[in-house]
Structure 1
Amino acid sequence: MGDLNGFLERCEEVREAAESMSSPLIVNHYDADGIASGALIRRALALRGIQARNWTVKRLSQEEIALLKREKELIFADLGGGQLDLVETLDAKIVIIDHHQTRDSSMLQVNPHLFGYDGGSELSSSGCGYFVFRNPELVQLGVVGAVGDMQFPLHGLNRIMLEEGMKNGIVVASRDLAIFGRMSRPLLWFLQYCTEPFLPGLTGKKANCALFLEELGIPLKEGEEWRRYYQLSHDEKVRLVSGLVAYLYAKGADAQTVESLVGEVYSFPKEQIGTEFSDANEYATVLNACGRHGKPEVGLGVCLKEESALKQSSELLVLHRRQLREAVQFACEAVEDFGVFHFLDARNVIDDTIVGVVAGMLYGSAIKRTKPILAFALNEEKKVKVSGRATRRLVDDGLNLGTVMKKASEGIGAGGGHDIAAGAQLEKGVDEFLLRCGEIIQSQLASSA
C-alpha cells in the first residue's frame, strides 16, 4: 500500500511551484502518455492564466539538455525522473512530473515510485499531472495517457482518478470487446485491421472477415450505412465475441490471448460518439500515431481541441495502423528464441518508433508469455535502439527490465525504464549487451524462484 497522503502533498507542492512560473517550457515525451501529459499540464496552466510552451522529445540526453541551458522555467513530463543526473546540471526553476523508476533528488518531482506505487501499472505521467492540478475536465487526458501506457484495467491511483472522472460524468467504464476501433471502424475494418490480438486468417484478409461475419449472421450494413461495433445489438455482440473466442482457440491461441478479447474499456460520453475521441484506446492510438510519426504537435493540437489538428491526426492514424500490421507480420516470422528471452532483430525493417509496440503485440500470437522479448531497431542516427517488453507475471516473478536495460548498457550506451517495459540506446557492443541481458534476466528470475 502506497503513501497516498504523502503523494498528494507532493502534488500540491508541485502545483504551487508550477503556478509560480510565468512562461514555462513543458518538455514531454513523444508517446501517447507523454503527449497527453504535456497537453494536460498546458491546459491546466492556461486555466490559471499561464501561457506555457511544449517541446516534445524522443529521449532526454546530453544533446537535449544542452538546448535547455537558456530556459529559466522547465516542467518535465513523462521523463526527467530517469535522467536526474542530466536534469540536475540545469540552472533553472524545475519541476518533474514523471512515473518512470527514479531516485530521491533535490529537484522537486512527483513520481508514484517515491510513494510506494508502481509507475509502470498504477499511474502514468498524465495521471500524475491530473493529481497535481485536479481540474475535473482534465481526467480525460489522464485516462487516455494511462491506457496509452497499457495500464488497463485501471487500478491503484489510476482507479482513484477513474472514479473521480466517472462521478463527474467525464468517463464511463464498462466490460466489453476490447479490440481497437469499436467506436470508429466499420465492422469489416474492425476485424480486417485488428492487430491486438493478431487474428490469423482474418487480420489483413477482407474477404475472410466478410465471410466470418456473414456466418455469424451479423449484417455489415444498415441500409446504405456501414455498421460499427458499438451499433450492434446485445445479441449480435454476444455472437461476435463467442465466435472470436472459438476462432482463436481453433487457431491455437493461448488462454490469455483469448481472454484479452474482453476487458474493461473506457468511453467519453461528452465526445461525439463514433469518433476516435469517444474511446480511450482509440484516442491514445491517435496520439501514438502523431508522436511516433514525427508530428507530436498534431497530437498536442488534438488534446488542446484545435480543429485543424483533427484531419491530420486521422491521416497519421491510418499510416500508423498500416505500419503496425506490416511490422507484426514480419516480426511473427523473424522473432527468435534466445533461451532466457525472445529476440527480434528488426534493424532496417521496423521503425524504431514502433518496434517496442510491435514487440509487445507478439505475446500470444508468435511468442509465449514465459519470457521477455528484446527487439532491435535503428534510429535516425543509425544507432541501435533496444525495446524490451515483459508480462506482469514475469515482473511478479522478479523481472525488472528497467534495471536490465540500465545495467546491460553500462559503458556501451544508456538505458532504463519501467519493470515491464524499458529501452536502451547502444553506441557499440551489441553482442556484449545481449550476453549481459541474458545473465541479468536469468539472475533476476532465479533469485525469486
Structure 2
Amino acid sequence: MGFEEFSIAAEEAKRIAFSFRNPVIVHHYDADGLSSGAIVKAAFVSAGREHRIMGIKKLDDAAIERLRGEKEIIFVDLGNYERVSELQDVLIIDHHQVKETGKPQINPMLYGIDGGSELSASGTAYFVFRQNADLGLVGALGDMQYPMQGANRIMLEEGIRKGEIRKDVDLKFYGRYSRPLVQFLAYREEPFIPGISYKEDHAQKLLEDAGIELKKGGEWRVYADLGAEEKRRLVSAIAEILSRSGRKYELVGEVYDLPARPRKSALYDAHEFSTVLNACGRHGKPELGVAVCLGDSAAYLEASSFLALHKRMIREGVLFAKASLADLGAFLFLDARGIIDEGIVGIVCGMVLQNGGKPVIGIADGEAGDIKVSSRVVKRAGINLGKMVAYAGERAGGIGGGHAVAAGASIPKEKLNEFLLAARENIEMQTG
C-alpha cells in the first residue's frame, strides 16, 4: 500500500461524494476541519451541486441524533465514528487513527501514510477533489504538520505548480506580512526573546541598532518589506540574543505565501491563515472560518476581531500554564479548569511542551458539564497519545482519540482520577 493506491481510493471517494444529491458536509471546528470542510464545499460549488455545511466540535451522541434524519452525510476530520453505522448514506474523509465504521472512508492511514505527520484531513480532501492546495496546506499547518513531508510534500509541489502557493526559506515568525516591525518582534511567545518580547521600546532599539528603518514613504514597514541584507542583520541579532540566553530555536525554515490572498493580511502567510481559522472555530464561529477560506472579505474583517481575542487568550493561557504545570512522573499535568477555555487548552499544551519528552496532559471545563482533556507530546518521545486517550477515556467512562502527538478526550467530572491513573499506566506500558 502507498500513495498510488491512496490516489485511486481518493478518486473513488470523489465519485461517491458526487453521487449524493444534496449532502450535508459535517466538519470539525479547528483549522484543519475548517480548511477541509471548505475544500469539500468549494468542490460542490464548482460542480454546481446542491449541499449544506455545518461545523461541530465532536461527533457525540447529541450530534448523531441531530443528523439521524439526514439521508446523505459527508463527515470531515471528526475522528470518532463509532455510531455512524446508525446513519444512512455516509462518506468519511479523515486522517485520524482508523477504526472500522461499516461506511466508505478515505483515510491516508489505510494506505501506509501517516495521518499525524504526512497528511491532514484538508490534504486528504485536496487529493479527493484535486483543488485548493492552498487550503490543504493551511489545514496541515493548523494540525502542526511541519515540515511538509510525504503526501504533504506532493500537495505542496502541486500547489506551487498551480500558482496557489509560493515557498521560500526565511524567518519563521508570525506576522511577516501583517505586523509592523516593532510589533513583529515584541509580541510573540514562540520564541520568547529575552529583553525584547513584550517590550516595544527594546524591540525598536534592536531594529535601529541593526540599521533597519521602521518607516518608508510614511508607512510602517513589515518584515516582508526588508531587503536580503536587512533580513540577515535582523536574524543575526535575534540569534545572538537567543544564544546568550541558552535558548535553542530554529529561526529559519520553509515559509509559505498564498499569492491569491490580500498581501498585507494574516491570510497571505499560510501559518497565519491557520491561526485565523483556529480563532474562528475555537470561538464558536466555524461558518465564519469557512467563509474566510472561500475568499469572503467581510468575513475576514469579522474574523480579525476573534483573532485578537484568540491570541490574547493563548498568551494568558501560556503564562498560567508555565506557572502551574505539575510533574506527575509519566507526564506533565495542567489543571486549567475555570482558567483556560476548552477550545484552546490543547494549543496551550503544545506551546509549553518541553524538550525532555514527557507528554503534557491538560484539562478544562467542557461545555456539557464534563471535563475536556487535551494532550500533546514531541514525536521523538515515541508515545502514541491517540492510543493513550482512547484507553484512559474508556476506563474513565468517556471517549478519546486523535493522533500520536496530539489527542483529546471527554470524561465525566467525577472520573478524573481514574483517567489520570489509566493515562499513567498506558504511557508507562508504551515506554517500557
- What's the CA shift for 1:195? 2.0
Partner of 1:227: 221
SS in 2 for 1:409: helix
CA shift digits 1:134-171 (9 cap, x unpaired)? 13xx1111111111111011111111111111111111
Which 5+ residue runs of structure 2 have no aligned equivalent? none
Answer whether contact 2:399 2:409 (CA < 8 A) is retained: yes
Partner of residue 394 from structure 2, selected from 410, 414, 425: 410
Question: TM-score, structure 2 length as denominator?
Answer: 0.96
Partner of 2:36: 37
SS in 1 for 2:70: coil
Which range moved further: 235-244 or 53-62?
Answer: 235-244
RMSD: 1.4
Q: Give the residue type in structure 2 aligned to 1:393.
A: R
Partner of 1:426: 411
Which range moved further: 422-431 or 190-199?
Answer: 190-199
Partner of 2:362: 375
Q: Aligned partners of 2:331, 2:237: CA distance in 1, in Å?
A: 33
- What's the CA shift for 1:119? 0.3
Which range moved further: 210-219 or 298-307?
Answer: 210-219
Partner of 2:121: 125
Which range moved further: 408-417 or 26-35?
Answer: 408-417
Partner of 1:83: 80
- What's the CA shift for 1:52? 1.6
Partner of 1:349: 339
Q: Give the residue type in structure 2 aligned to 1:89.
A: E
CA shift digits 1:65-119 (9 cap, x unpaired)? 010001011000111xx323211111x2110000000124431100011111110
Alignment partner of 1:197 is 2:191 = yes
Cα pair distance change 1:369/1:240, threshold 3 Å:
farther
- What's the CA shift for 1:271? 2.4
Answer whether contact 1:193 1:325 (CA < 8 A) is retained: no
Q: Give the residue type in structure 2 aligned to 1:244.
A: I
- What's the CA shift for 1:200? 4.0
Q: Aligned partners of 1:192, 1:76: CA distance in 2, in Å?
A: 41
Answer whether contact 2:84 2:101 (CA < 8 A) is retained: no
Answer whether contact 1:26 1:74 (CA < 8 A) is retained: yes
Q: Give the residue type in structure 2 aligned to 1:444.
A: Q
Partner of 1:439: 425
Partner of 2:317: 327
CA shift digits 1:296-335 (9 cap, x unpaired)? 1111111122232021011111111111111111111111
Q: Aligned partners of 1:250, 1:361: CA distance in 2, in Å?
A: 22
Partner of 2:104: 108
Which range moved further: 143-152 or 427-436?
Answer: 427-436
Answer whether contact 1:103 1:114 (CA < 8 A) is retained: no
SS in 2 for 1:429: helix
Cα pair distance change 1:200/1:415, threshold 3 Å:
farther
Answer whether contact 1:24 1:73 (CA < 8 A) is retained: yes
Q: Aligned partners of 1:323, 1:86: CA distance in 2, in Å?
A: 34
Q: Give the residue type in structure 2 aligned to 1:152.
A: Y
Partner of 1:290: 280
Q: Give the residue type in structure 1 aligned to 2:417.
A: D
Question: TM-score, structure 1 length as denominator?
Answer: 0.93
- What's the CA shift for 1:227? 0.9
Q: Aligned partners of 1:414, 1:44: CA distance in 2, in Å?
A: 32
Q: Give the residue type in structure 2 aligned to 1:383.
A: D
SS in 1 for 2:82: helix
Aligned residue pairs total 430
Alignment of 1:160-171 (within 5 A): 160-171=154-165
Q: Aligned partners of 2:4, 2:101: CA distance in 1, in Å?
A: 20
Q: Give the residue type in structure 2 aligned to 1:9.
A: I
Answer whether contact 2:395 2:418 (CA < 8 A) is retained: no
